Amino acid sequence: MKRISLLLIVIFVMVESLFSQEYLKWRWSDQPIMQMPDASFLHMVGSAYLAETLSKRMHPLKADLLTLSLGIAWEIKDGLIPYEEAGYLGAEGFSVNDLKMDIIGIIMNRLGGYLLKRGSGNYGSKYFSFNWKKDRNAVATLSVNF
């Protein structure tokens, strides 16, 4: 009952404030990924954590798709609600780079679990390398070259 009441209050406040002229006007964010590394890292870690937590209650593929769907919904909200008017609930606009970080977080969650179960080894290409070693002190290293 408390959750429903809180949800209704939040919905009421959001609907009441939607009558402003600036709301529901689509905005894009062209902010580069590394301009605010803490926000990008938060998208990646948050998506990885959410996917792992949801996979304990449902099939991992469904958990990954639900996590990605929530990320897309959040970015749509960011595109429609400006931070100048809504404060914390708003954002600069829809960011494709934030979605990229969400996808990287989901992939790293699945890849990290698979590689740590597998043992030790390395994987790399021209642009990045991932090395891991499973023993008493598990170590994983990710290097990215731009």
pLDDT tens track for 34-84: 788 888 888 999 999 999 899 999 998 999 999 999 999 999 888 888 877
In a domain, 139, yes or no: no
Number of domains in the chain: 1
Distances (CA, A) of 52 to 62, 96, 99, 120, 139: 11, 23, 18, 22, 20
In a domain, 114, yes or no: yes
In a domain, 90, yes or no: yes
In a domain, 37, yes or no: yes
In a domain, 126, yes or no: no
128 contacts 144 by C-beta, under 8 angstroms: yes
Report how far residue 33's alpha carbon sits from residue 71's, in angstroms, rounded to the nearest whole number: 16
In a domain, 43, yes or no: yes
Instruction: Provide the residue range defining the domain that includes 43.
Output: 26-119
Strand, coil or helix: what is 28?
Answer: strand
pTM (predicted TM-score) = 0.65
Provide the pLDDT confidence category of residue 118 given band limits of 50, 70 and 90. Answer: low
